Every structure is written in structure tokens, then in C-alpha cells.
Structure 1
């Protein structure tokens, strides 16, 4: 029997696309972008819808199941796509998350690991917070023996502007419970993520 599936709702109620499109049009004009060309006339609307998609998490239901077999080994989902927007420049950062846990009395529907990452990524973010929020949420809602989250991402605020460090990646991690306190469990998790150290 599954637990009651509690909905996790998006946190962007009150989005006004028409106002955002007007603001986008003024923003682009203020930067000297010509919007009278045929190919540019709909750009403010496309820009608005694109950012709305990046900043609006889809609701999902948390589904857990009893750990009837007493499974006590690592569960890991690797290479979960991550896309978010840097809160300092509103430029995208993209990469992958590796999310794992050591089950306690319940196990999680595997797709929910990706849903939790997406939920916290769909807002202006910093990678460090995104990593910790994902791990903390899983620890709170799943009560596992341990949780590990590693995110590797390329930040366009670093690669397209400023220092222009093309190809650089940022790696962040949060380890909780036995994945933090037990050296062999921690090493197993890090080895299985495939992250180069």
C-alpha cells in the first residue's frame, strides 16, 4: 500500500504573462534591441513564455511504498537533467544531478527523485542551495538512513559573460545521515555518481 500521495504545488501563483510580456518589450527596447523586424516582433512573448517555463515548477505527488523486503543498500538515480536560472544574473545554468538515498522503512517512486530536483530548480537559484534543498526535502519526507545529492552544472553567467570560462563546471554536494557519517557509505555513493575528484 502506498502512502497518501501529497501534492507538491508550484510556488509561482499569480503569474501575469501579459504584464511580463510588456515589461520584456520595454526591457529589450531599453537595451536597443530592434523589435520592428518581422523575426523580432514576437520575441518579447517568446522570452516571457520561456522564462515562465523556467521559473514554474510542475506540481507532483509524492509516492512512497513500504520497504517490505528491508532493502538497505543505496538507491541512486544518476544524470538527472538540471536546468535552472542563476538568481544573480537570471542566466541559465544546466547540468546533471546524482541523487541517492539509503532506505529506511519506506522507498520512493524513482521518478520522484527527478521531480524533487525539478521542483527546486524552477526558480531563481544558486547551485549550493538547490543541492541542499533537494537533500533536505528527501530527508524530511522519506526519513531514510542517509541522503546524497551531487550536482554538476555549467553556469552561463560564467561561460558567456564576465570571465567567459567556457567549459567550466561547478560541482556541489550535500550528504546527510549515514552517507555523511559513514566513510564506506560515503565513498560508495561518490564512486557510483562517477563524479571525478
Structure 2
């Protein structure tokens, strides 16, 4: 039995349940496997993930990838937050393979997180990987720690943003990004 499985068995017992009853017998194993999957971002490396998927391009126009679904775990309560990321960058001679943008989002989301840090981590990873003149990231998410416990506000949604380089300096670029993401 793995260390993680032992801890889950202990948690089940501490909650007052019988960890060896039929319905819970394999739960520590399944929970450990699920948590390992949900936190696999710790085992990933940005350079290995990108794997050279940077391609020469003369494009200097904004590249926007909208509605990248994400799932993460709140580092305060270990409860999920679920949402979508919108990512943009201004290339300077190289573009990033499209799937790599989503993989970068996943790599950082698959860690114990707070949404504010997740947004910054994605932005800085794309900025450093692409040498873009600017990067913008907006994340919209629903937090189960806010919906299932505490204040229990079902309709609440959190939005965070990170603007780097030209997006930080140019109101026009920021507005163009926001219009592309939040089309009316």
C-alpha cells in the first residue's frame, strides 16, 4: 500500500467510517490514484512539455486561444475549482504549437493552487517560452470551496488576469484581447 493510500485510509477512519467495509475497501487506492493524476503537474517540466514546438513565423499579430478548460485543486481546502483560461500572445518571430498552450495551462492547473498564482504562472511560462512581446491570460473559474462549504454561494465565479509586456503597457492591446475573449 502506497504512503498516499495509507493516509486516505486514515482520513476515512478519522471521519468515523469503517475503511474496510465493502464500499470503502478500495477507496484509499482509488483516491490516491485520483490525487496523483490531479497533481501530475508537479512531475512535468516546461521545456520537456514544449519539446521544441516553436515554429518560425512572420506573424506579429495577436494569437488568442479561448476557452481552454481547466481543473485544479484549491490549495487551502483541496477542493476543485473548474473553469476556463483565455490566453493571448504577440509573437516575435516564433509561434507556439497550439496544443502546447493548452498543455501549459494543464501543467500548472494540475498542482495545488490558488487561481491568482495559476494565472501568473501560465502567463510567465508562455512569455519566457515564446519570447513574445506580450502575453495576456484571463481565467474564469467556479470554486467548490466557495459553493460547497463556507458561504455556499452557488452563482459565484472568480476572474483573474495577468498582463505582461506589451499587454501591460498598451491599453489598446489589452482592449483588443478582452474584445476577442468576451465577444458580445
Moved over 3 A (4+): none
Instruction: Tell me what 2:56 maps to.
Output: 66
What SS does the aligned partner of 1:174 have?
strand
1:44 aligns with 2:34: no
Task: Provide TM-score, normalisation by structure 2.
Answer: 0.91
Q: Which has the larger helix fraction? A: 2
How far apart in 1 are the matches of 2:55 and 2:32? 39
How far apart in 2 are the matches of 1:92 and 1:34? 25
Instruction: Tell me what 1:159 maps to.
Output: 147
Which of 158, 167, 176 lines up with 1:179 in the alignment?
167
Partner deviation per Cα, 1:1-46 (whole Å, 9 max, x = no partner): xxxxxxxxxxxxxxxx711101100111101123343222111111
Instruction: Tell me what 1:141 maps to.
Output: 129
> Retained in 1: the 8 A contact 2:62–2:89?
yes
Which of 82, 94, 109 lines up with 1:121 in the alignment?
109
RMSD: 1.6
What SS does the aligned partner of 1:188 have?
helix
1:94 aligns with 2:82: yes
**Where does the alignment leave 5 or more consecutive residues of structure 1 unmatched?**
1-16
Which of 150, 164, 179 lines up with 2:138 in the alignment?
150
What is the Cα deviation at residue 81 of structure 1?
A: 1.0
How far apart in 2 are the matches of 1:74 and 1:173? 17
The alignment of Structure 1 onto Structure 2 pairs a total of residues equal to 178
> Retained in 1: the 8 A contact 2:60–2:93?
no
